[in-house]
Amino acid sequence: MLQANKFYINFKKECNKWIDKTQIYKTIPNPKSRHVLQLWEPKQRSGSKIQNPKSSYLPSTVFYLGLTYFLMAGLVSCSNFSFSGINALGANVTPIRELQSQPDSNITVYIQGKVEKIAPLLKRRAYLVKDDTGKIWAITNQTNLLVGDQVVIKGQIRYRSIPIAGKEYGEVYIEEK
């Protein structure tokens, strides 16, 4: 307890020394009352110039704003965005519902949707893409897509027949070219 009290006293002395070295009281009369207001003002020492604090704020503010801008631009440019704006550029995006009726037609189509599942293949990946009209598997060489990403994939319609015990379990899928 004695050490804490000693520390407090020394700290208070150092603060008072700092205040005495850097600031003085300036009295300003208050026209509405008889009291005098006391404000802090920098003390002018002989042989030394005290810089006006406002003059140092502008360069540091500009520096930090510029640094923040370039750091944010760097973070955005290095991130992995899925570009889903092809539909806005005039590409003909086909609803998935319409693809189910065109098995193995070798037509090149664009599909747009959200990745729901990922199935790794040798040197490729299969993504289950869902839009408002249905779901379809898309086989692609892209390995950087994640579940929840909005994607636009250009590919050909394919159909794989899977007969089991006399029943057909085949499915339409998209193969990116």
Q: What pLDDT score does 104 carry?
A: 65
CB atoms < 10 A from the CB of 127, how many? Answer: 26
CA atoms within 13 A on the CB side of 147: 5
Q: What pLDDT score does 89 carry?
A: 47
pLDDT at 156 over 60: yes
Token digits of residue 45: 């020492």
Return d(Cα 114, Cα 149) in angstroms, integer: 6
Token digits of residue 61: 């503010």
Alpha-carbon torsion (65, 70, 75, 77), positive or negative: positive
Span 3-26, average pLDDT: 66
CA atoms within 13 A on the CB side of 2: 0
pLDDT at 158 over 90: no
Span 39-55, average pLDDT: 54
pLDDT: is 146 or 4 the higher one? Answer: 146
Question: Which residue, chain included where needed, has tokens 């550029």?
Answer: 89
Domains and CATH numbers, the chain: 1-44 (no CATH), 87-176 (2.40.50.140)
- Beta pairing partners, 172: 159
Average pLDDT, the chain: 75
pTM summary value:
0.49
Write out pLDDT tens, residues 92-143: 888 888 887 777 677 888 999 999 999 998 889 999 999 999 999 999 998 8
Return d(Cα 96, Cα 132) in angstroms, integer: 8
